[in-house]
Amino acid sequence: MPYWHISQDLKELVLSLIDNNVVPNDFELNISEIFGVHHAMIQRWQRNIDLYCSVIPPKNSLQGRPRILNGNQTHDLITLLEEAPEMYLDEIQDWVAISHDLSISKSTLDLMIRDLGISYKLFSKAAAERDEVARGVQRTPVVRKCDTK
């Protein structure tokens, strides 16, 4: 039988017909044919009634991949970025590793900060204001003198 949605009312009706002895016990197979459902489905509905008091089981709240940072850790990250918005991703990464004992990549941090809706305007401004002379000294290649004979 192909998948099709069966309403909660129909499930309860089938189970009430069986429970109230409206149909004989051996009629369960025939009732499944009448309603177009498999007899295993009727047994599953009865098991759900026994376990959850409903033909429909409760939804699983743990679906999907768990977040890397929980709510408190995310709040701490937002507070950090509000207090020191000039921090670079590698500095934030170090802070998360030290304060929350978590290893998280820079790209994941970037995605999380974007998902939180925090703007990079101040980050860009801080990056534009950095000392280019000091960066130039740091970027100069090391030249080795070779003795050629």
Higher pLDDT, 74 or 26: 74
Q: How confident is the model at residue 128 (pLDDT cuts 50, 70, 90)?
A: low
Cα–Cα dist 67/109, whole Å? 12
Pair (83, 48) in one structural domain: no
Please, what is the Cα angle at 10 between 4 and 15, to 5 degrees? 120
57 occurs within a structural domain: no
42 and 75 co-located in one domain? no
Tell me, yes or no, whether 46 and 82 share the same domain.
no
Measure the CA–CA gap between 130 and 50, rounded to whole angstroms. Answer: 67
Q: Lowest-confidence range among 38-52, 55-69, 88-102? A: 55-69
| Mean pLDDT taken over the chain | 79
pLDDT at 17: 84
Is 65 within a domain? no
Q: How far is CA 33 from CA 16, 37, 93, 94, in A?
A: 16, 6, 61, 64
Tell me the pTM: 0.44
Domain-embedded: residue 135: no
In a domain, 104, yes or no: yes
pLDDT tens, residue by residue, 89-121:
999 999 999 999 999 999 999 998 888 887 665
**pLDDT over 60 at 56, yes or no:** yes
Mean pLDDT, range 5-18, rounded to an integer: 87
* Cα atoms in the Cβ-side hemisphere of radius 13 Å centred on 124: 4
| 83 and 120 co-located in one domain | yes
Residue 112 located in a structural domain = yes
Give residue 75's pLDDT: 92
CA dist., res. 130 & res. 38, Å (int): 70
**87 domain-assigned:** yes
Question: Given this model, what pLDDT does residue 30 score?
Answer: 76
Q: Are residues 81 and 124 in the same domain?
A: yes
User: What does the pLDDT average to over 36-61?
Assistant: 88
Q: What pLDDT is recorded for position 23?
A: 65
Q: How far apart are CA 125 and CA 71, in angstroms?
A: 29
User: Which range of residues forms the domain containing residue 115?
Assistant: 71-128
In this structure, is residue 3 part of a structural domain? no
Number of domains in the chain: 2
- Residue, of 137 and 107, whose pLDDT is higher: 107
- Locate 115 and state its tokens: 């998902």
Tell me which H or E stretch contains 86: none
Location of structure tokens 């003198």: 145
